[in-house]
Amino acid sequence: MLNSDIPQPSQTVSSSDGLSIDSSQISVIVVATERLFRLGLAGLLDGDSHLNVIGVSDGEADLLELCKSTSVDVVLLDIQLSRSDAIELVRLITSECPHTKILVLTSNADWRVRPTMIAGAAGVLLKDTSPEAIRAAVVSIYLGDQVLCHEAVRWVLGEKPSTHLTQRESEVLQMVAQGANNSEIAAQLKLGQKTVRNYVSRLYHKLDLTNRAQIATYLVPNDMARSGSRADLEPVETRPRSTVS
């Protein structure tokens, strides 16, 4: 839900659709589950003379309509949403609001970076990035750049942080990614089902994942790097134009 208890611009003009907008600023909506975080970030951004935070949202279903009705320039989106799938939100906003840019914030750069960029995000930053760098990133993506923290760059380019897996763990990983259940894995590898469950649990822990679908996504960068021919991967196969520490 859009929240109006944020600073309002001091000088506005009326647009053709009746909305009040500031003609000299980049409009921003901040989306995050935690109220204090989204209001705090909104306040930090609104202190920049180039930015106008027109609202905050917890990611509920009406966010897409709000983006469409306000023609917002930039959406700052926390990837950890409790009410919505953040990657799907990125896809929907990009599709329905092609002029709106999306900057994603995350606590840790992980397997979600690449799907988020494929969905249409213009950048990914860590949540502990300095306020100055976040403000600069908002301006940069509005101007058409891609902005990625160094940790996210590795994931976009298919250079995942090294994770030491045993040969057996790698075999289980590949089978899970192919959709095999524990019984099928046990039969194929001649292991007990309890042993397979232990291997899967260890994979979750080592790879910082929570379910089998994420394991399949985790392997996508290597698969895409080998194929290199799918058209829907082209936007993120090139090196990002800008990076933020």
| pLDDT tens digits along 26-59 | 999 999 999 999 999 999 998 889 999 999 998 8
Range picked from 89-98, 152-161, 211-220 for highest mean pLDDT: 89-98
Residues 173 and 140 in one domain: no
Indicate whether 201 belongs to any domain: yes
Supply the pTM of this predicted model: 0.60
What tokens were used for 191? 């292991």
Residues 35 and 105 in one domain: yes
- Is the pLDDT reported for residue 119 higher than 60? yes
Rounded mean pLDDT of 201-213?
79
Coil, strand, or helix at residue 80?
coil
CATH at 113: 3.40.50.2300
Q: Is 231 left (phi over 0), alpha (psi -120 to 50) or beta?
A: alpha
- Lowest model confidence (mean pLDDT) among 102-116, 172-186, 203-217: 203-217
Residues 116 and 205 in one domain: no
Mean pLDDT score across all residues of the chain: 78
105 Cβ partners below 8 Å, 6+ apart? Answer: 32, 76, 77, 78, 79, 124, 125, 126, 127, 129, 134
Residues shown for the chain: 245
- Is the pLDDT reported for residue 208 higher than 90? no
pLDDT, residue 161, reads 54
Residues 137 and 39 in one domain: yes
Residues 118 and 172 in one domain: no
Q: How many whole angstroms separate alpha carbon 126 and alpha carbon 148? A: 9
Whole-number percent of the chain with pLDDT over 70: 76
Q: How many whole angstroms separate alpha carbon 53 and alpha carbon 57? A: 11
Domains contained in the chain, number: 2
Residues 31 and 142 in one domain: yes
Residues 191 and 132 in one domain: no
Domain extent, residue 198, equals 167-227
Of 108 and 157, which is predicted with more confidence?
Answer: 108
